[in-house]
């Protein structure tokens, strides 16, 4: 125990305060704090403020980019919607135009068919008239031929029918 009291006594004996050392250390500490504030904390705080301003600017730029992207997306959607409407209108217009062309083609075809039919009827009538005229000429020439033969000789009714049949057969062969 003696040793512990000796140690205890030694530490109690040196416990007196040296106020000069405390003041000196306090002044040095304040000078150190002032130097740190001026040379370390000042630039460090400036760097931190610059960094904060840079980050705030980046956040603001990102927000503007996001807003612009949203605006462009909406514009693209509107353009796509308008394009679909235009495409639908174009298709409808093409359908209507196709229907109109189809009707025009049908009307033109009917008109042409009617014109061709009328032309064919006129040709048929002309050919019929020609055939009738040719037949009349043949009948007339046959009649003249028969009459001349009859005049040359007088025939009985049976001979006359036989003669007419022969001349008709000859006229059929000539054609």
Q: Where along the chain do its domains lie?
A: 19-174
For the segment 115-148, what is each residue's pLDDT rounded down to a tens digit? 999 999 999 999 988 888 888 788 777 777 777 7
Q: Which residue has the tokens 């956040």?
A: 59
Average pLDDT, the chain: 83
pLDDT one-digit tens code per residue, 23-65: 999 999 999 988 888 888 878 888 889 999 999 999 999 999 9
Q: Contact 145/167 with Cβ under 8 angstroms?
A: yes
- Exposure b/e, 151-163, CB count within 10 A at least 16 = b: eeeeeeeeeeeeb
């Amino acid at each position: 125990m003696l040793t512990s009291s000796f140690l205890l006594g030694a530490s109690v004996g040196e416990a007196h305060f040296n106020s000069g050392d405390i003041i000196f250390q306090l002044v040095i500490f304040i000078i150190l704090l002032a130097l740190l504030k001026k040379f370390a904390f000042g630039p460090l705080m400036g760097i931190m403020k610059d960094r904060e301003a840079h980050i705030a600017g980046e956040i603001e730029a990102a927000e503007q980019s996001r807003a612009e992207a949203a605006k462009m997306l909406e514009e693209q959607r509107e353009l796509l919607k308008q394009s679909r409407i235009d495409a639908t209108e174009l298709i409808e217009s093409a359908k209507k135009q196709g229907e109109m062309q189809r009707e025009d083609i049908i009307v033109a075809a009917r008109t042409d068919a009617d014109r061709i039919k009328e032309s064919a009827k006129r040709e048929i009538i002309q050919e019929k008239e020609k055939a009738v005229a040719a037949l009349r000429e043949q009948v007339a020439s046959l009649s003249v031929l028969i009459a001349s033969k009859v005049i040359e000789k007088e025939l009985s009714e049976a001979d006359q029918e036989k003669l007419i049949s022969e001349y008709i057969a000859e006229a059929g062969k000539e054609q």
